[in-house]
Homo-oligomer: A and B are copies of this chain.
Amino acid sequence: MMMISLKQAQQIIKDEIKKIKFHSDPKELYNPIIYFLDLGGKRIRPALTLLGCNLFSEFITPAINPALALEIFHNFTLIHDDIMDNANLRRGQQSVHLRWNNNVALLSGDAMCVKAYEFLGKTEGKYLNDVLEVFTQTALQVCEGQQFDMNFEERQTVTETEYLKMIELKTSVMFGACLKIGAITGGASAENANLLYDFGRNLGMAFQLQDDLLDVYGEESTLGKEIGKDIVSNKKTYLLIKALEISKGAQFESLKNWITVKKFDPEEKIKAIQLIYLSLGIKELTLRAIEKYYLKASEDLRKVSVSDDNKLELKNFLFSLRNRRY
């Protein structure tokens, strides 16, 4: 069977995105969408949809429209998240609400959500019902995850379980859905499609936890962003949640103090919290959690009943994610 690589899949998606047609008017509605889709991004999610399909079928065309729907939906959530989080930068460029304004970002986002369903609606008839169901459930979960994330910002404490649930909804299920929808359009059995969903979900969990870790232990040059931003902003990452959970006495007080004090030297704060993490073994704890999810993902992929050769690209993908630098 002819298998495409992740790179090829990403290229197919990039080419297809360039071909998307929008009405020319009103410009204020469509220019922000075109701008945002032009910012790029790695197109990993829709590429996974193509790979998910390709596991079961040489013919990946049926996966393209749903893959585009998933990518457009993902970008829509980013535009609206940027409004909610008051984030001014996205992929190194101005976010939509900054470049235009909140109303434009709001309405363009809405149109993008609808546009996502336009592409989803082009899914081949025999797969349409299943694809719609997975997509819509996932889309709702992503909204739920974003809401939990915002709620957590207002709260004093968040448990590990709550945090894991939140990142599962906000980030991981989308990876699962991308792979499952691909599998469906490749004619996979329900069992195989669900295994791929779990593979994607577990991969997504590992990926998000890694992101938390990279903020503290990444290499700035590789990462392309500053180290310690989550620490400075008191972001409730897996690391901070675990540290608050297991620290005791003076150490707990010191941690509490660092996350409540208003005036501080950022470098000093980063170093102090890194020291606390070090003495608590937070890095190792987090690595263990990450490893657990990668193992689960590997196990899910192993159980998918196609040849090992066909699984190679997804195995390599897992391997490359696992080796992100910290």
Contacts and interface: CB of A to CB of B under 8 A. Distances in A.
Interface in A109-130: 109-111, 113-115, 117-118, 121, 125, 128-129
Contacts of A151: 26, 28
A136 B114 contact: yes
Contact of A84 (B106, B128, B136): B106
Given A103-B84, A128-B129, A144 B114 contact: no
Contact of A80 (B106, B115, B129): B106
A46 B151 CA distance: 34
How many copies of this chain? 2
B143 A80 contact: no
A158 to B, nearest CB: 13
A143 B110 contact: yes
A12 interface: no
A248 to B, nearest CB: 31
A83 interface: yes
Given A129-B128, A136-B121, A143-B29, A106 B106 contact: yes
Given A113-B114, A117-B117, A103 B150 contact: yes
A144 B113 contact: no
Interface in A64-117: 77, 80, 83-84, 102-103, 106-107, 109-111, 113-115, 117
Contacts of A140: 23, 111, 114-115, 118
A309 interface: no
Chain A contact-residue range equals 35 or more
Contacts of A139: 114, 117
A176 to B, nearest CB: 17
Contacts of A110: 77, 80, 109-110, 113, 143
Nearest to A133: B121
A146 B114 contact: no
Nearest to A140: B114
A29 B129 contact: no
Contacts of A107: 80, 84, 143, 146-147, 150
A25 interface: yes
A174 B132 CA distance: 22
A326 interface: no
A217 interface: no
15 contacts: A25-B144, A26-B144, A29-B144, A83-B103, A84-B103, A102-B102, A110-B110, A111-B143, A111-B144, A114-B136, A114-B140, A118-B140, A121-B129, A121-B136, A128-B128
